[in-house]
Structure 1
């Protein structure tokens, strides 16, 4: 049985607790939510795990097990530097049945091949697009809250969609990385799109702060095959501190 990791667990919970689980894919999709204009919502370049460095591939593998919140500060920084705004990294979910002997043999041949193989098994053709959106001061919060509205939009209904977001702020001393400020992990079931609109943090002062956010957009297909699309919002320097 394939292991289900990080935010996918919540996606499965949504499906299991849904009052009526459809036996087949619905014939038509609901209205897709509008997204804000800007670079972060433009069509992205999709990268495979083989397109990233060995270090990044290993971090993505670890992320599928512990989620964005479980990454160390250094792992988060490496991942954030590896994904440019406008890029999406396609990450198949690890197969728990990969034997240790097979993993050892692959590692002996190539560390990168080993990290990539852990992120197999079946790479489905995706009709979903992940959009991170810009980090911005929210008008609805009288510009006293910083927020982000990541979106997953698919061409057809999916069994479940969820988005995991880690919002962090860079520390005042340059080169010392960032600190986690807030984390969200929610989703829906039997829809073609998901866009949470309540991912925001209240500003406690007006100190100029640089914010960074990574998102894992989880897609669960009707054959129970999960995968993730990892995106990064453009860094934003805002007069909002916490």
Structure 2
């Protein structure tokens, strides 16, 4: 592991162990962990970096591709601008962000404020003068889809899927004919397919694990396959276990 990667790994571990606070050169500074995916490798990377909070938008931050005043831009800058999105850890929160690069007067204003608060950034700008302009990226929390009131009510009224095999001790029997006995319940299996080979529509019946060989489930009328677990919906005529 390179010296930089080793140092970053220690900062990341300390950040996560202390709700976003670290010591050393970053002590007291606002720090964020930025997740970005390699534009060529596709591998995910995490880079700790200082940020400037937005004046009025609490879920927006600015980060600076200073690379300590080096003549080239950091890889994380290229990755973020190539994808246009990423994920950040900020304090104890983690959320997806969109990436927007600032330009012109807006970029200059934000960078000047960062340099005013942390003079090291003024030194980075001095080192790169005439070589490159240090990029400033705005990382804004990605919009989350909000359901309408009517859609929300419909979702609340939808039947809930339950793993009966795991939580209720019931197996899918897939037997033909018969009725449930005492202590047995039925579930109408609407779909089963944990892997592609099982991605078929079927119906079936569930019975108590201890009775599945001695008491048949109720009749099925569509294609089915015997299985010992499957997602389903409780049948309205099911007995209480």
TM-score using structure 2 length: 0.24
Larger CA Rg, structure 1 vs 2:
2
Structure number with greater CO (CA < 8 Å, separation at least 6) is 1
